[in-house]
C-alpha cells in the first residue's frame, strides 16, 4: 500500500492529483465553519485489516492478573472457575482476537514450571520489576491458556530469554503443544490437561535491549537464532515466532535484526508509548488542559512516522513482506493514580485516551499488510486499560474499552482506501496534527463501516463523504462516543460518564453522505449502498476554512 500525506500542497504529488489540488497551495484565513471532505474508493481495496491488530496484553503487573482477571475459585467476588465473571463477560463482548502473556518485563524473570501443578504447592515469587509484590503463582500456564479458550482468542506467549535457558523455553513449548508420548506432554496430563493447546504466537524474549537482558542487537540476533531452532512444532501446531524488536526510534535495532535474522523470524515486535518521557512526571491521567490534549494527539500520531521508517527498513530486506511487524505494546502512560501502590501502574482513562486508541488504530489500518498485530497495554487495571476493578467487586469500563467495542467491526474487514481533506493545527514540539481521522472498511456481508474522530476540542465539523461507485448510501446505524469534558472518565461510582450513544446527525443528499460531528467526538457509521459502474478519478474538491491537510490512503494499482 502506498500512503501519501500532503500538507498545504508542499512536496511532490502524484500526477493524477496535481490538478485537483493546485488551488490549495496557499493557506486560507481562519473561518468559523469547520469542514472536511472524504472520498472512498472501494474497488481499489485489496488488503484486509487483520483482527489481531485489536489484540491485548496481560502482564503480571499490579492488579492486572490478580484481582483483575483472576480472583480464584474461593473468592467472594462472583467468578467462573476463578476468573472474575464480570470481567470475563466484558472481554467476551470485545471479541478479543489475541492475548499476550505473561509480560512485558515480567516475562524474562518468569519460570513457567513454578506456575503448574497443585496451586497450594506452587512456590511464591517476588515481582522485582513491578513494586516487589509477592505472587503465589496461582495463575500460570493452565489458567492463561484456559482463559484464552474461554475468550475464543489466540494465546501469545512471551518467553523468558533474559534469565531463562533454551531448554526451559523448549520444554514449555512441548508442555503446551505436544500431544505425543513425551516427557512434558505427560507432565501436562498429570496436571489435569490431556489434550494439547493450540499456541500460535511465541515471543522469543521481550525488550531484550532493556529489561529483557540489556543486550546489543547483534548479540540478541544470534541468541534468537539459537532459541528459534529448539522451539519446535509439535503435532500440527505451527509456531509464529516473534523476535524482540525495537523501542520506538531505535531503527538500528530493526536494521541489525533484519540483516542477521531475516526470514528465521515470522514477526518482529515494536513498542511505542504515548508518554512525555521516562524520567520525572508523566502527567496526570485526568488533570490536563487543552494544550496537553493536543500535545498528546501529536505524540500519539507520531507512531505513524515510526512505523513507516521501520517498515522501510524491513522492505529493504523483505520485499515480499513475509515478516510481520507486531506493535505488541502501545498506549498512553501517565502518572499512577494518587494513593495506589507504587510500581503497579494503575491509571485512570479519560476521553483523551479514547482518542489515542481511535487514532492509533486508524494508523495501524494504513500499514497492513506489514503490520499484522498490535497489543494495547494493558487489559485490566494497568496503563491504558479496557477495564478497572476493585477488590470490593466493582468494575468500570473505560472510554478505551468503548472505542475497541465500536471499532471491532473493522476486524478482518476489507480496508477501503480514501482521500481525506481536513483542517490541521500546529502543536507543541513542532508537530502538526489533522483535525479529523478516519477508517473505512467493508465486511464479508458487504456492509461498509466508517469511523470518524473529530480531534477538534471546540468545533463541530461537517464532513462530506462520497463513496465512488456506490449510489445512495443508506445509514443503517450510528454510534457516538463523547462527553462534556476531555478529562471526563468513568469511575465505580459513575461508570457511565463516558459511554456510547446512538448517533443521528448524518444524512444522505444527492448520493453524498453529510455527517455533522460534534467537537471531541468519535463516531461509527454503518452503511449499505447499491453499486454503480463508475471510472474512479480524483475530482476537484473545494476547500473552505483555514490551513488544510490533505491525506490520501491509496493502494498500488496492479499493472
Q: What is the mean pLDDT of the chain?
A: 90
Q: How many CB atoms lie within 10 A of CB 477?
A: 14
Count Cα atoms within 13 angstroms, Cβ side, for 295: 12
Task: Sketch the domain layout of the chain as residue ranges.
Answer: 2-48+414-554, 51-410
Q: Single out the residue of 342, 285, 300, 344 nearest to residue 491, CA to CA.
A: 285
Determine the average pLDDT of the residues in 97-107. 97
How far, in Å, CA of 314 to CA of 319, rounded? 8
CATH class of segment(s) 2-48+414-554: mainly beta
How far, in Å, CA of 410 to CA of 441, rounded? 6
β-bridge partners, 135: 125
- The backbone torsions φ and ψ at residue 388, rounded to the nearest 5 degrees and listed phi first, read -115, 140
Determine the average pLDDT of the residues in 109-124. 97
Percentages of the chain per state (helix, strand, coil), in multiples of 5: 25, 30, 45
The tens digit of pLDDT for each residue in 301-351 reads: 999 999 999 999 999 999 999 999 999 999 999 999 999 999 999 999 999
pLDDT bucket at 470, cuts 50 / 70 / 90: confident
For strands 512-517 and 461-467, give the pairing: antiparallel
The tens digit of pLDDT for each residue in 474-496 reads: 999 999 999 999 999 999 999 99
Show the CA angle centred on residue 401, arms to residues 360 and 528, nearest 5°.
Answer: 75
Residues annotated as part of the active site: 207, 329
Which superfamily is assigned to 51-410 in CATH?
Glycosidases (3.20.20.80)
- Continuous H helices in 50-121: 85-94
- Cα dist. 63→79, 286, 357, 416 in Å? 16, 20, 22, 39
Angle, in degrees to the nearest 10, between helices 217-230 and 166-177 = 40
How far, in Å, CA of 467 to CA of 512, rounded? 8
The tens digit of pLDDT for each residue in 413-426 reads: 999 999 999 999 99
Q: Single out the residue of 104, 99, 100, 96 nearest to residue 61, CA to CA.
A: 104
SS3 of 408-457: the string is HHHCCCEECCEEEEEEEEEECCCEEEECEEEEEEECCCCCEEEEEEECCC
- The backbone torsions φ and ψ at residue 481, rounded to the nearest 5 degrees and listed phi first, read -120, 115
Amino acid at each position: 500500500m502506498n500512503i501519501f500525506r500532503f500538507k498545504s500542497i508542499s512536496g511532490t504529488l502524484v500526477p493524477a492529483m496535481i490538478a485537483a489540488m493546485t488551488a490549495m497551495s496557499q493557506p486560507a484565513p481562519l473561518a468559523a465553519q469547520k469542514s472536511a471532505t472524504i472520498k472512498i474508493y472501494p474497488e481499489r481495496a485489496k488488503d484486509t485489516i487483520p483482527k489481531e491488530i485489536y489484540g491485548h496484553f496481560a502482564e503480571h503487573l499490579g492488579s492486572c492478573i490478580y484481582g483483575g482477571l483472576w480472583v480464584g475459585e474461593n473468592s467472594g467476588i462472583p467468578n467462573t472457575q476463578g476468573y472474575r465473571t464480570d470481567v470475563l463477560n466484558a472481554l467476551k463482548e470485545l471479541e478479543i482476537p489475541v492475548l499476550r502473556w505473561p509480560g512485558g518485563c515480567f516475562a524474562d524473570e518468569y519460570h513457567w514450571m513454578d506456575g503448574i501443578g497443585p496451586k497450594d504447592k506452587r512456590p511464591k515469587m517476588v515481582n522485582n520489576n513491578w513494586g516487589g509484590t509477592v505472587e503465589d503463582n496461582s495463575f500460570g500456564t493452565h489458567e492463561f491458556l484456559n482463559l484464552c479458550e474461554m475468550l475464543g482468542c489466540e494465546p501469545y506467549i512471551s518467553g523468558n530469554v533474559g534469565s531463562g535457558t533454551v531448554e526451559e523455553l523448549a520444554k514449555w513449548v512441548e508442555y503446551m503443544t505436544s500431544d505425543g508420548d513425551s516427557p512434558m506432554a505427560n507432565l501436562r496430563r498429570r496436571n489435569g490437561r490431556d489434550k494439547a493447546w493450540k499456541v500460535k504466537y511465541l515471543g522469543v524474549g521481550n525488550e531484550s535491549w532493556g529489561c529483557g537482558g540489556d543486550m546489543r542487537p547483534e548479540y540478541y540476533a544470534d541468541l534468537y537464532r539459537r532459541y528459534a531452532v529448539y522451539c519446535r512444532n509439535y503435532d500440527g501446531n505451527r509456531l509464529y515466532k516473534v523476535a524482540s524488536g525495537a523501542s520506538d526510534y531505535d531503527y538500528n535495532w530493526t536494521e541489525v535484526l533484519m540483516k542477521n535474522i531475516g526470514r528465521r523470524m515470522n514477526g518482529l515486535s515494536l513498542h511505542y508509548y504515548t508518554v512525555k518521557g521516562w524520567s520525572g512526571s508523566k502527567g496526570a491521567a485526568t488533570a490536563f488542559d487543552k494544550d496537553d490534549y493536543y500535545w498528546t494527539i501529536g505524540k500519539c500520531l507520531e507512531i505513524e512516522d515510526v512505523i513507516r521508517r521501520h517498515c522501510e527498513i524491513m522492505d529493504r530486506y523483505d520485499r515480499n513482506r513475509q515478516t510481520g511487524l507486531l506493535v505488541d505494546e502501545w498506549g498512553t502512560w501517565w502518572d499512577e493514580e494518587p494513593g495506589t501502590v507504587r510500581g503497579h501502574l494503575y491509571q485512570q482513562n479519560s476521553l483523551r485516551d479514547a482518542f489515542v486508541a481511535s487514532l492509533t488504530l486508524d494508523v495501524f489500518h494504513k500499514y497492513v499488510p506489514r503490520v499484522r498485530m498490535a497489543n494495547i497495554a494493558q487489559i485490566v487495571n494497568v496503563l491504558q486499560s479496557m477495564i478497572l476493578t476493585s477488590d470490593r467487586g466493582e468494575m468500570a469500563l473505560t472510554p478505551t474499552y468503548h472505542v475497541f467495542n465500536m471499532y471491532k467491526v473493522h476486524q478482518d474487514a476489507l480496508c477501503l482506501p480514501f482521500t481525506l481533506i481536513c483542517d490541521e493545527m500546529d502543536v507543541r514540539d513542532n508537530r502538526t496534527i489533522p483535525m479529523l481521522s478516519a477508517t473505512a472498511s467493508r465486511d464479508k456481508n458487504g456492509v461498509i463501516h466508517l469511523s470518524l474522530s473529530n480531534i477538534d476540542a471546540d468545533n463541530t465539523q461537517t464532513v462530506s463523504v462520497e463513496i465512488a461507485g456506490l449510489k445512495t448510501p443508506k445509514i443503517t446505524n450510528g454510534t457516538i462516543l463523547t462527553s462534556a469534558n476531555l478529562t471526563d472518565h468513568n469511575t465505580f461510582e459513575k461508570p457511565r460518564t463516558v459511554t456510547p450513544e446512538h448517533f443521528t446527525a448524518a444524512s444522505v443528499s444527492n448520493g453524498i453522505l453529510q455527517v455533522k460531528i460534534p467537537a471531541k467526538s468519535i463516531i461509527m457509521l454503518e452503511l449499505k449502498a447499491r453499486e454503480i459502474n463508475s471510472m474512479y478519478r480524483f475530482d476537484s474538491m473545494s476547500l473552505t476554512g483555514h490551513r488544510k491537510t490533505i491525506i490520501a490512503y491509496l493502494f498500488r494499482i496492479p499493472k
